């Protein structure tokens, strides 16, 4: 049954109500003596995925709103932020938003109009702070969807909308992450396409999921970056090379910078590991999704791992056994500095690198600047150690000669010959067996987590470790099964045939750039530590030698093994005038006795 609603004959129509409100508002402004109307507009859209015309659409709606109220926009007070989220984490990036707030504080604005309240901020805290600032400066806020800060319930309504705007972001994040996880498990690529790749439109349409392909032009730039990093260049030097060549930058940037180079070097997709962070809730990190994708690899795992361990992290930190990432511990980027020995030798007291100030020269000394400063301010037990640059050169020359002509390299080559003669069938069988055990372990941890149904840090840690083990072993099995055996045999033959008699002179040549010499020494000797000085003329060093790196560098191939040896070396000089140097190897027991005598 239809019930007709009765209307009073004198009741105004809805359209007339809006017109009356607008007229009243305009009259209230105009009637105020000395008031010059300054109407500002703010517009914003969130991501690169949205259309840039969104700004124009928002400004048009604001103009229509101003017209309804009989107001005229001020062209010099139109503020717009492109492709920036309104959440709290990006507030500092919104330059036009801060310019608007500055205009409010300086009294240049009477009214602000925006399309919706959420355009101002998606953070409830930020929105409410801005609203209080508007009230304090007597600025009125209007939105195209009907909000007016002069209404009686405006503050309550603004607060509710602010809370819902933030809730909408959290809810959207949850739904997006849930959908990404489902797509990832179905084999799709769910993140933004990184530099060096493109969307394979044909395969994506055929398979019903996003598939990437290599962008060859950009891939060449990626390979160049890793090559330059391997050769010892710093991040800034690599950026300068690319800028001189005019190479296109990621994300339409104007030029390459050190931060862009670092982000590129740290991306594991370039060695064929696709990693996605599915963190959906604030303060709660969900496990990363990881997938092996060898077809997308642009550099070898050995080269990628080498670039991680040089410059962005401490070389003294143990390597993660799964993805080759060093653990925590920052280190200044290598490749900088004019002297080839800067950043090579560590202080045995504080673990800082010894410094050599000045140009490329064999004169002078190296010392620990941190211990030097500690001594100046009266810190006990931090007496700085000084060592002659000429003496260090003599020791490095002796070390290289000893390694390349000694029994250690021959033992290493014997192992290579055994691998060459015996093939890799046993290694493949062992890898498959280990993979089977790792998969069972991963399934067991996953089953326990599902049964418990609540957070258990110990089980989660075990599950993550088991999953990473599976990923690493899958890669190893795949390499063994897909013809890398022949490539390894070629590498072995080249390392067996290489003549090491000339490498010492080549590695320490003054003709090389300082960063190249520094890189070679850091690769061959992952750790050189000045443990202490017995007296003014005698120093003790602890040296870690990476045998596989010497043959790899000399033959231009990848390292086939990471076996390291520890040497203890005593360096002596005859005196300050016309010094002669002697270098000798000592035993670990002798080194311990000397260190105890030094109070270590």
Which pLDDT value is given to residue 410? 79
Q: What is the DSSP annotation of 328-371?
A: S---PPTT-SSSTTTTTEEETTT-PBPB--SSS-S-SEEE-HHH
Which pLDDT value is given to residue 134? 94
Which pLDDT value is given to residue 512? 74
Residues 102-132: pLDDT tens digits?
999 999 999 999 999 999 998 889 999 999 9
Is 284 in a helix, a strand, or coil? strand
Which pLDDT value is given to residue 42? 95
Question: What predicted TM-score, i.e. pTM, was given to this entire model?
Answer: 0.55
Residues 312-368: pLDDT tens digits?
543 333 333 333 333 333 344 444 567 788 888 999 888 888 888 655 566 788 888
CA-to-CA dists, residue 107 to 71, 142, 296, 371, angstroms: 18, 17, 56, 55
* Distance in angstroms (rounded) separating the CA atoms of residues 185 and 585: 56
* Distance in angstroms (rounded) separating the CA atoms of residues 306 and 322: 14
Contacts of residue 533, Cβ cutoff 8 Å, sequence gap at least 6 = 385, 387, 539, 540, 598
Strand partners for 366: 387
Token reading at 302: 């050995």
Which pLDDT value is given to residue 275? 86
Q: Are 331 and 312 in contact (CB under 8 A)?
A: yes
Which pLDDT value is given to residue 16? 41
Which pLDDT value is given to residue 377? 85
CB count within 10 Å of CB 244 equals: 9
* Mean pLDDT (10-residue bins), the chain, 600 residues: 40 42 46 67 77 83 92 89 83 92 93 93 91 94 93 91 84 71 82 92 91 94 91 86 89 83 92 78 55 87 79 38 35 56 87 74 80 86 84 89 80 75 66 85 80 72 81 78 59 78 72 78 88 88 87 78 83 82 89 70
Token reading at 331: 């280190």
Is 501 in a helix, a strand, or coil? coil
Which pLDDT value is given to residue 416? 76
């Amino acid at each position: 049954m239809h019930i007709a609603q009765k209307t009073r004959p004198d009741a105004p129509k809805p359209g007339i109500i809006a017109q009356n409100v607008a007229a009243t508002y305009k009259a209230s402004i105009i009637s105020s003596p000395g008031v010059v109307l300054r109407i500002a507009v703010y517009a914003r859209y969130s991501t690169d995925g949205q259309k840039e015309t969104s700004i124009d659409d928002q400004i048009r709606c604001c103009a229509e709103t101003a017209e309804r109220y009989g107001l005229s926009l001020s062209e010099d007070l139109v503020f717009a932020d492109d492709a920036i989220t309104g959440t709290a984490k990006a507030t500092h990036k919104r330059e036009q938003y801060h310019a608007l707030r500055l205009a409010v504080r300086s009294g240049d604005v009477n009214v602000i109009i925006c399309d919706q309240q959420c355009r101002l901020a998606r953070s409830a805290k930020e929105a409410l702070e801005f609203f209080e600032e508007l009230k304090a400066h007597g600025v009125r806020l209007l939105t195209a969807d009907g909000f007016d800060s002069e209404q009686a319930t405006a503050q309550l309504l603004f607060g509710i909308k602010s809370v819902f705007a933030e809730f909408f972001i959290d809810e959207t994040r949850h739904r997006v992450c849930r959908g990404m996880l489902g797509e990832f498990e179905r084999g799709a690529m769910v993140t933004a396409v990184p530099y060096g790749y493109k969307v394979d439109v044909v395969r994506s349409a055929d398979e019903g999921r996003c598939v990437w392909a290599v962008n060859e032009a950009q891939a060449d730039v990626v390979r160049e970056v890793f090559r330059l990093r391997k050769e010892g260049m710093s991040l800034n030097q690599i950026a300068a090379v690319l800028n001189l060549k005019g190479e296109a930058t990621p994300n339409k940037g104007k030029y390459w910078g050190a931060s862009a180079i670092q982000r590129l070097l740290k991306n594991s997709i370039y060695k064929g590991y696709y990693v996605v962070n599915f963190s959906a809730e604030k303060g709660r990190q969900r496990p990363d999704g990881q997938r092996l994708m060898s077809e997308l690899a642009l550099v070898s795992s050995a080269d990628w791992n080498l670039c991680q361990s040089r410059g962005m992290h401490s070389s003294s930190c143990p390597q993660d056994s799964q993805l080759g990432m060093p653990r925590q511990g920052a280190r200044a980027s290598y490749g900088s500095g004019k002297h080839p020995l800067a950043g090579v030798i560590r202080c045995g007291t504080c673990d800082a690198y010894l410094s050599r100030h000045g140009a490329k020269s064999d004169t002078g000394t190296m010392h620990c600047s941190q211990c030097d400063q500690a001594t100046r301010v009266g810190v006990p037990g931090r007496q700085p150690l000084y060592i002659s640059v000429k003496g260090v050169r003599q020791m490095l020359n002796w070390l290289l000669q000893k390694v390349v002509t000694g029994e250690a390299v021959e033992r290493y080559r014997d192992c290579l010959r055994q691998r060459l003669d015996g093939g890799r069938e046993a290694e493949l069988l062992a890898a498959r067996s280990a993979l089977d055990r790792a998969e069972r372990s991963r399934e067991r941890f996953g089953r326990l987590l599902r049964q418990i149904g609540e957070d258990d840090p110990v089980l989660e840690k075990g599950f993550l470790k088991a999953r990473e083990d599976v990923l690493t072993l899958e890669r190893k099995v795949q390499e063994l099964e897909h013809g890398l055996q022949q490539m390894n045999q070629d590498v072995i033959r080249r390392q067996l045939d290489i003549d090491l008699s000339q490498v010492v002179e080549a590695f320490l040549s003054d003709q090389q750039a300082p960063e190249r010499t520094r890189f070679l020494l850091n690769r061959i000797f992952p750790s050189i530590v000045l443990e202490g000085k017995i007296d003014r003329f005698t120093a003790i060093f602890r040296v870690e030698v990476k045998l596989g790196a010497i043959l790899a560098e000399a033959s231009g191939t990848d390292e086939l093994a990471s076996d390291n040896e520890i040497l203890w070396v005593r360096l002596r000089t005859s005196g300050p005038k016309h010094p002669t140097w002697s270098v000798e190897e000592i035993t670990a027991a002798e080194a311990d006795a000397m260190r105890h005598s030094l109070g270590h």
